[in-house]
Amino acid sequence: MGLPGSPASHVEVEDVALRFGRRPVFKDLHCAFPRGQISVVMGASGAGKSTLLRLIGGLQRPDRGHVRVAGEEIAGRGDAALSGIRKQLGMLFQNGALLDSMTIFENVALPLREHENLPEDEVVRRVRARLEAVGLPDVEDLLPRALSGGMLRRAALARAIVMEPAIVLCDEPFSGLDPPNVSRIEALLRDLNRELGLTLIVTSHHMASSLRMADRIFLMRDQACLSGTPLELAQSQDSAIVEFIGEDGAEYLARYASGGEGGP
């Protein structure tokens, strides 16, 4: 449970340590992601953002510590025990490509075919609803190579949400996209959060969009993480945070102070 008045955590990482060979990635990692909110995980390349999502998704075991999803411990559990929890999680992988030889429809339908035994008309209904939700109503018969980068990202997002998960993990959903597509994906994630009440955990290097969309930002550094609202981070006097947030933070504060769009 969260503190009185604050939303309860949906995902908790507690006291996690992890190393790959001799390289420590996390030493004493604690972070709690609130239910129904957008959490954005930031930090330098190699800080462990993707690894954190893999821990939450049960794809990577910690050496020590707890990972709880919807109150259930997943650290150290085997694949069979994890399958129920994984159904609650949608994942958009970093550079997560769709399968080249399958149509967009079949790519999006894949998790349903793997995990559910639904009648075909229900598969069709769900896939179409999700493609519509991401603004791609007319591409179901196309192969991935016929879509632009921004469209592919949206199709991958449709696949991530086709199981109607309560939590969606998105690894770098903005990378490699031009500004209009960044805005489009950002709006889409916000809509999914607002309309479906999804808990979103998004990694990003994109400071401006992170400050705009995040309810909470998690900054990974020194094998641990610190977190706060965008306003708290933009106002921080900590020199490492000031440097990390940079000009975008100052701009965000100025907009917020003037009551403009972009404030919390």
- Tokens representing 204? 């990003």
Size, binding site for ligand ATP by CB under 6 A: 12
63-102 residues near Mg ion, rule: CB under 5 A: 94
Using the contact rule CB under 6 A, the part of the chain among 43-51, 70-78, 189-197, 226-234 near ligand ATP is 43-51
Work out whether 39 is an interface residue with ligand ATP (CB under 6 A).
no
The single residue among 11, 25, 151, 182 that binds ligand ATP, judged by CB under 6 A, is: 25
Cα Rg for the chain, rounded, in angstroms? 19
30-49 residues near Mg ion, rule: CB under 5 A: 49
Place of tokens 């199709």: 155
Phi, psi of 225 (to 5 degrees): -150, 150
Q: Crossing angle of helices 149-160/179-196, nearest 10°? A: 20
Work out whether 45 is an interface residue with ligand ATP (CB under 6 A).
yes
What minimum distance in Å lies between the beta carbon of 68 and ligand ATP?
A: 20
Q: Note the helical H segments in the chain.
A: 49-56, 79-86, 104-115, 120-133, 149-160, 179-196, 207-213, 230-235, 239-257
SS3 for 34?
strand
106/248 with CB nearer ligand ATP: 248
What minimum distance in Å lies between the beta carbon of 25 and Mg ion?
A: 11
136/226 with CB nearer ligand ATP: 226
- Tokens representing 55? 């821990």
Size, binding site for Mg ion by CB under 5 A: 3
Using the contact rule CB under 6 A, the part of the chain among 47-55, 76-84, 97-105, 176-184 near ligand ATP is 47-55
Binding mask 49-68 for ligand ATP (x = CB under 6 A): xxx-----------------
- Residue 14 DSSP one-character state: E
What minimum distance in Å lies between the beta carbon of 202 and ligand ATP?
A: 12
Question: Quick check: 119 and 113 in contact, CB under 8 A?
Answer: no
Work out whether 47 is an interface residue with ligand ATP (CB under 6 A).
yes
What minimum distance in Å lies between the beta carbon of 174 and ligand ATP?
A: 12
Work out whether 48 is an interface residue with ligand ATP (CB under 6 A).
yes
Angle at 248 between CA 244 and CA 250, to 5 degrees: 95
DSSP string spanning 65-103?
EEEEETTEE-TT--HHHHHHHHTTEEEE-TT-PPPTTS-
The single residue among 39, 50, 107, 204 that binds Mg ion, judged by CB under 5 A, is: 50
SS3 for 8?
coil
Work out whether 204 is an interface residue with ligand ATP (CB under 6 A).
no
77-136 residues near ligand ATP, rule: CB under 6 A: 94
- Residues in contact with ligand ATP by CB under 6 A are 20, 23, 25, 43, 45-51, 94
